[in-house]
Amino acid sequence: MDNFAEQIVKKDIGSGARARSIALFITGFLLAAAIALISLLLIPSPLLSLFGLILAAACGAGTVYMVQGMQIEYEYTFTNGELDIDKIIAKKRRREMLTVNVRAFTDFGIYSEQAEESPDMTVVIASGVPAALPGEDGSEPAALQDYYADFQHENYGITRLIFTPDERMLGNIRRALPGALRNKLN
């Protein structure tokens, strides 16, 4: 029987990034409007005016593309001991971040800022807030904790993954952990 779990978390962008996103949108909109206005009112040649309007449209489209690119989600997929982490940008573009066999974990637990990281360690951060909708009774989704997993990766070397699994994902990961790590958690 297959052991499968899937979870999506949204990257918590914070108020600073949200303000940058709003400022980028306003600046892009004003720039596109200014280019369109200049091309219509100040340029006498119809061909140059058309070029200006095309440039304004491209500026507007680029602004929308950049603002949407700040919307990031992470998808965790657990299948028979393999954990896949994908980054989803603007709910359109998907990029595989890493794939690891949970049996290769050398350390696993609740993440805290005091956790020691070696200087040659690659840190992959794929943590966020639950992308789940409120429960049927209207309750908020449960707050999740960040966990870390240390392992040797073929491309990144010594790697630390920081992620935010829900209870179902965590249960599947715990069942697939090496015995020594499973005993350490209990």
68-122 tens-digit pLDDT = 988 999 999 999 999 999 999 999 899 999 999 999 999 999 998 877 888 899 9
**37, 80: one domain:** no
**21, 55: one domain:** yes
What angle (nearest 5°) sits at the alpha carbon of residue 95, between those of residues 76 and 86?
5
CB–CB of 11/164 below 8 Å? no
Radius of gyration of the chain (CA): 23
Most distant CA pair in the chain: distance in Å?
78
- pLDDT score for 56: 94
Q: In terms of residue numbers, what domain contains 151? A: 4-11+73-185
**122, 154: one domain:** yes
**38, 111: one domain:** no
**94, 169: one domain:** yes
* pTM of the entire predicted model: 0.79
**180, 106: one domain:** yes
**133, 86: one domain:** yes
**110, 134: one domain:** yes
Q: What total of structural domains would you count in the chain?
A: 2
- pLDDT score for 33: 94
User: What is the edge-to-edge ordering of all strands in the sheet holding 147-153?
Assistant: 105-110, 147-153, 157-163, 122-126
Q: Tokens for 96, please give them.
A: 């595989």
Q: 132-163, pLDDT tens digit by residue?
A: 555 555 555 566 899 999 999 999 999 999 99
**57, 148: one domain:** no
Last residue of a domain, which of 46, 68, 90? 68
